[in-house]
Structure 1
Amino acid sequence: METYRITRIYADAAGDSHFQDLEIPLQDSGPIGFLSTGVTAGQVIFRKVNEGYDYDFHRAPARQYIALMDGEIEIETSLGVVRRFGPGEVLLVEDTRGKGHRSRNLQAAVRQSIFITLPPSD
């Protein structure tokens, strides 16, 4: 079965942030490729950050997907686990409560991303 890999960032009951690797199932849709089921979304927000972007620990303002268009970032969880992400990768950011995460540019260049907000979870 085909899948699309994304990384989830979430807060546990104690408020600590964690990474979780997710595999989104894809169905064969013939000549147009492999598609997932639809996800209800809110807004699409386009963003550019400067080359010195280094945002200390913060919570996500909303549940959202972040599609990285270029550059490279490093994200650190509240427990000190660090991962790097690059162009084409997708994050599902859900740590809207708790201690949050830290993110920073790894290249001295403007970086672009797209945020797709999601409804609050129950």
Structure 2
Amino acid sequence: MRIHNLYVDADGETHFRDIEIEWKNEGRGGKTSATLPATGIIFRETPGTYDYEWHPAPRRQYIINLDAGVSIQASDGETRIIGAGEVILVEDTHGKGHFSKAIDGKLRHSIFVPIE
């Protein structure tokens, strides 16, 4: 399983990379990873007009898109579409941050899972 990761380097630039989730257990119900730390859960509804200029993430957190995607641009210029059902780990809590925008004017529901 692959998740997106948005991180910041020593110069304050943000970049994307992919993280592969390692499977620790396998059984009749499928595969599971190790238990990862989390400090809560936040539900979010984002309007289809969402167009949020450059900003750092407010905290390290996983974001799970439920029913629509979002376009995110890192400060190095790479843009990714994080689609419905995909997960991104945002870790750019300082530096230049990222730019995010709704796709096709669609309302989006997502879940934030803070890890600090």
- 1:38-90 Cα shifts (integer Å, max 9, x gaps): 11100100000111001001000000000010112111011211111111100
**Counterparts of 1:107 and 1:44, CA distance in 2:** 27
Determine what percentage of the aligned residue pairs are the same residue. Answer: 44
Which whole-Å CA distance do the structure 2 matches of 1:45 and 1:114 have between them? 6
| Structure 1 residues not aligned, in runs of 5+ | none
Structure 1 distance, partners of 2:60, 2:25, is: 28
**Matched-pair contact (CA < 8 Å) for 1:71–1:107:** no
Once superposed, which parts of structure 1, at least 4 consecutive aligned residues long, lie more than 2 Å away? Answer: none
Structure 1 position 28, deviation (Å): 4.0
Structure 1 contact 72–107 (Cα < 8 Å) conserved: no
Indicate whether 1:70 and 2:67 are aligned: yes
Match of 1:38 in 2: 35
TM-score normalised according to structure 1 size: 0.91
Aligned CA RMSD, in angstroms, stands at 0.9
**Distance (Å, rounded) in 2 between the aligned partners of 1:28 and 1:22:** 18
For 2:18 and 2:26, the matched residues in 1 are separated by: 25
Q: Which residue of 2 aligns with 1:6?
A: 3
Partner of residue 117, structure 1? 114
- Counterpart in the other structure of 1:93: 90
Segments of 5+ residues of structure 2 without an aligned counterpart are none
Q: Provide the rounded CA distance (Å) in 2 between the counterparts of 1:52 and 1:62.
A: 23
**Cα distance in 2 for residues equivalent to 1:59 and 1:112:** 20
1:109 Cα deviation after fit: 2.0
Among residues 102, 105, 108, which one is paired with 1:105 in the alignment?
A: 102
TM-score normalized by the length of structure 2: 0.96
